[in-house]
Amino acid sequence: MQPAPTLAARLKDAGLAAGVALLLAIPFIGLTTVNTDQGLSVATRWPWVGYAVAAVFAGRLLAGYLRDALAGRASAATSARNVLPTGETARRLGRGFVIAGIGFAAVMPFLPFSDRYILDLGTTALIYVLLGMGLNVTVGLAGLLDLGFVAFYAIGAYTFALLAKFAGLGFWLSLPLSGLVAALFAVLLSLPILRLRGDYLAIVTLGFGEITRIVILNWQSLTGGPNGVAGIPRPSLFGISFERRPPEGQVSFHELTGIAFSSEHRMMFLYFIILVLVLAASWAVWRLRRLPIGRAWEALREDEIACRSLGINPTAAKVSAYATGAMLGGLAGCFFSARQGFVSPESFTFIESAIILAIVVLGGMGSQIGVVIAALFIVLLPEFAREFADYRMLLFGAAMILIMVWRPGGLLSGRDPTLRLSDRRSPPPAATESL
Amino acid sequence: MDGAALGLGTFLQHLINGLTLGAIYGLIAIGYTMVYGIIRMINFAHGEIYMLGAFVAVTGFTLLSALGVQSVALGLIVVLAASILFTAAYGWTVERVAYRPLRGSGRLAPLISAIGMSIFLQNYVMLTQGARPKPLQPVLSGGITLWQGETFALGITYIQAFIIVLTVALMASFTVLIARTPLGRAQRACEQDRTMAALLGINVDRTISLTFVMGASLAAVAGVLVTMYYGVVDFYIGFLAGLKAFTAAVLGGIGSLPGAMLGGLLIGLIEAFFTGYVSGAYKDVAAFSILILVLVLRPTGLLGRPDIEKV
């Protein structure tokens, strides 16, 4: 262990950081331009520069002491990075956690603290879980970096919106169709770009995401352009509607049961639809991972050349990974349309793709529990920061950086391989962090 | 005046507009390509760095006119220098805070960190400088009429000429910098093999820091130029410009310096001609479609070296 730095060294380090902070603060915190009638004029906020520089100085000094204290403790224990249990214990813990989580999610709407706001938040979080699971197949399992996943979300959402508008189809019929259409687009996209790898693939998917949004924005006659599509029908339960005035041929829930009408029932119903969708998707992905195709995905992620030598068809594996991921994205999009009753291109910007990717990476690539935890985290964090109103997204960005610096492999990085030849004899291979 | 002459005139006008736009994209693209070449990461926050440069320019020009500085040349030099200084400081800090701790931990972690940094910087500028667009008085007005027809005049504004000349000069000096100076040699060495470079006595951390500083300086110049060209800036301009500049870098072959310049010019020209002859609404679709097409036919970009796969 290195000797702790002297006070003078610490002060010098913090002083340097404060100097950089001064340079950074002058043009943006110290000076600002104000729009006036005669054009722009400059305003100054010098006291704020002083606060910022002082904060950086103190923060750097404290962080230095804190890091040394933590390092001392970590070297006493085995390693700070591997606090998560592995092997059999982890599997048992994981299973208990999953059962408890599902149980809680199922009874949550009936618990006393649950209200419209909590239900709404839960539904949003579950949409992101579903999206995260979709992207997890492409990025986490098959190792194909996709920066335009929001395109499949948008395609699913617009498939339902347009089917309802032009063909009068309902939610339940549109749901599988949305998934299929999204998967079809994924196949069409993936065929020409299978030769690409790594970052080239990422940028093409990014381009595809932007193209989808721009086409939706500009194809006025079909999609309504920036005005979007409104009046999307709400889902019903075997012909039972949750609206105050049910559409033709349906009975309403409050008339049928005699319970006074409340729009909260509809929100509860939506919440259960997405919960069931998430559970079904997660079960399907969990099973798929054990099928030859799922094993091919994971093998592809680890080493494409080895895969090819062992007789796995990389093309089939890639296309199927894209299609499966996109299908889940399309289902999430269809549900999103049904929940909002309105879609517009604004909901499908690049930042959504970035957030979904952040969920997959924060959760730990390939880990399904990780996706759930990260999705909850990403959706709830801005809500808790609501008091800071304007500062929410600033804190969100900062949190993304801090979490990555703290745990570069994601929250659940010590994951086990899905399949292992023999538990006893072979030592578990080290978890790789490469793409 | 006949139709053919008019057609040619329009074509040349689009060419001039496209070259101007392409010059700006090229300057930003160099930052992407240099960083990618040396540490193999997509610096997603680079578009925001360019946006920071544009904001320094707005503040700088406003401050100078408030102080009563009349000389355009003096104003340009001061603002360019200030923008390069402050923006480079941001570029250095971004690498230090968000990327250096993640070196050697896979490819996705730095990418997410970069996206976080991009969100952070956008909101930082929105909070400190306001969300409304900033309109700026024209700094350099007027132009040269190259050809005067009855209904149509072909011209190049002084700003366009300035942008093209400055960009060509910067790119030329940059090529020399990379090819001839010790710093350029160190960069190329780190690009090929970082461990070996470190063993041979190259300070890898310092070289990477300087790469970020150089990329940010060029982005700052692009920010100043775009502020003068369009005369309006807001906190969101970094996203699309960054995306297109990155597209340009990939189109030219990421990691290759001449590739970034070529890619930038191509994207600028595609945008100008598509806007002029087909439709303005779909100009970004055209740029991305051509990118996809080029990558399908030439997966390493136009001037990129093939990535040799090792077993």
Interface with chain A: mutation pick from B35, B102, B119, B251, highest number of A CBs within 10 Å: B119
Average pLDDT over residues B164-172: 92
Show the tokens assigned to B86: 């402050």
Taking an 8 Å cut-off on Cβ atoms, the answer to whether B120 and A394 are in contact is yes
Q: Is B131 in the A-facing interface, judged by CB distances under 8 Å?
A: no
- Domains of chain B, by residue range, sit at 27-238
Strands B153-157 and A342-343: unpaired
Q: What average pLDDT score do residues B293-303 get?
A: 79
How much is the pLDDT for A427?
Answer: 47
| Phi and psi torsions of A38, nearest 5° | -85, 15
pLDDT, tens digit (0-9, with 9 covering 90-100), for A118-131:
888 889 999 999 99
Burial of A117 (0-12, 13-18, 19+ CB in 10 A): exposed
What distance in Å separates the CA atoms of residue B105 and residue A366, rounded to the nearest whole number?
16
What is the rounded distance in angstroms from the CA atom of residue A375 to the CA atom of residue A352? 12
Residue B194: its pLDDT value, please? 87
* Cross-chain residue pair B288–A207, CB shorter than 8 Å: yes
Nearest-CA distance from B128 to chain A in Å?
Answer: 6
Q: Which residue of A has its CA nearest to B58?
A: A33
Chain A CB contacts of B85 under 8 Å are: 23
Task: Report the pLDDT value the prediction gives residue B212, as an integer from 0 to 100.
Answer: 94
Shortest alpha-carbon distance between residue B80 and chain A (Å): 14
**Which residue(s) pair with B148 in the sheet?**
B153
Averaged pLDDT in 10-residue chunks for chain A of 435 residues = 74 90 89 81 87 91 84 57 57 78 81 80 91 91 87 93 85 90 91 73 83 88 82 75 66 68 78 91 90 88 85 88 93 92 87 86 81 86 72 82 81 57 49 45
Q: What span, in angstroms and rounded, lies between the C-alpha atoms of B233 and A351?
A: 21
Is B250 an interface residue toward A (CB < 8 Å)? yes
Rounded distance between C-alpha atoms, residue B311 and residue B297, angstroms: 25
CATH 1.10.3470 fits A112-406, yes or no: yes
Question: Which of A80-89, B5-14, B138-147 has the highest average model confidence (pLDDT)?
Answer: B5-14
Q: Indicate the Cα dihedral angle B81, B84, B89, B92, nearest 10°.
A: -140
The average pLDDT across B274-291 equals 82
Q: Structure tokens of B114? A: 């970069």
Give the tens place of pLDDT for each residue, B173-215.
988 998 899 999 999 898 888 889 999 999 999 999 999 999 9
Q: Are A193 and B292 in contact (CB under 8 A)?
A: yes
Confidence of residue B282 (pLDDT cuts 50, 70, 90): confident
Please name the residue of chain A whose CA is at the shortest distance from the CA of residue B300.
A200
d(CA A3, CA A26): 36
**Closest chain B C-alpha to A32 CA, distance in angstroms:** 6
Please report the sign of the dihedral spanned by the C-alpha atoms of residue B192, residue B197, residue B199, residue B205. Answer: negative
CB within 8 Å: A28 and B125: yes
Q: How far is A245 from chain B (nearest CA, A)?
A: 41
Q: Given an 8 Å threshold on Cβ–Cβ distance, is A207 in contact with B117?
A: no
d(CA A289, CA B86): 50
Q: Which chain A residues touch B134 with a CB distance below 8 Å?
A: 33, 35, 40
pLDDT greater than 90 at residue B225: yes
> Quick check: A52 and A29 in contact, CB under 8 A?
yes
- Top pLDDT among B240 and A197 is at B240
Domain ranges of chain A: 7-79, 112-406
pTM, full prediction: 0.84
Residue A86 has a pLDDT of: 56
Report ipTM (2 d.p.): 0.85
